[in-house]
Amino acid sequence: MREHLAVLRALGADAHPVRRLEELSAVEGLVLPGGESSVIDKLARAFGLFDPIRAAIADGMPMYGTCAGLILLADRIDGAITGQRTFGGIDARVARNAFGSQTASFETDLDVPALGEPPVHAAFIRAPAVVEWGPDAVPLASLSDGRVVAIEQGALLGTAFHPESTGETRFHDRFLSRVHSRRGISAPAL
């Protein structure tokens, strides 16, 4: 979370951690960090944030999820623990821990045509992968085996990797531009 805040602030955003409902009500966009998606799901419910985040997604609030955050934005997941839910919003099926325990972490250079040159240096940590997606979801990057690792749908963006830990700022910039363009069509939350 600290790394996301640092990237967003370096890009000029007034970024704050969101752990409570009042904090969610005060922001115009939300980054869902990595971690353990089942734990984030449980915490969101325990802190009364689950339904408000779903409502914010339905209302068009821009969100960017990395790794566990991508899992939380997917409508369907493979490898969920019993009772695990997602906020949803991206019409996709995401497999948790898609690279297995033998390959818990790796880094690679990814072509992301929507971001142009240079390729994205991506760090994958117990990462998920998008294994199926619907017509409204747009894949932005895939591995050589065809599995999608960056995807967006409307104001929602998700990456299976962690750009915030490799000095890559273009995904955060893309998220912020969604926030800025929405500000023009709706009342600012602040």
Catalytic residue flag (residue 162) = yes
Nearest CB to ligand GLN, comparing residues 28 and 123: 123
Q: How far is the CB of 70 from ligand GLN (least distance, A)?
A: 8
Residue 34 binds ligand GLN (CB under 6 A):
yes
- Total residues interacting with ligand GLN, rule: CB under 6 A: 11
| Position 159 contacts ligand GLN (CB under 6 A) | no
**71 forms part of the interface with ligand GLN (CB under 6 A):** yes
* Site for ligand GLN contains 68 (CB under 6 A): yes
Task: Report the nearest approach of ligand GLN to the CB of residue 14 (Å).
Answer: 25
CA angle 10, 158, 54 (to 5 degrees): 100
Are the CB atoms for 149 and 171 separated by under 8 Å? Answer: no
Exposed / middle / buried, residue 125 (Cβ in 10 Å: 0-12, 13-18, 19+): middle
For position 8 contacting ligand GLN by CB under 6 A, the verdict is no
CA distance 69 to 67: 5
**How many Cβ atoms sit within 10 Å of the Cβ of residue 147?**
16
Q: Please indicate whether residue 67 is annotated as part of the active site.
A: yes
State which of positions 73-132 bind ligand GLN (CB under 6 A).
96-97, 125-126
Q: Which residues of 50-80 are buried (b: 16+ CB within 10 A; e: fewer)?
A: beebbebbeeebbbbbbbbbbbbbbbbbbeb
Q: Which residues are catalytic?
A: 67, 162, 164
Q: Provide the binding-site residues for ligand GLN, judged by CB under 6 A.
A: 34-37, 67-68, 71, 96-97, 125-126
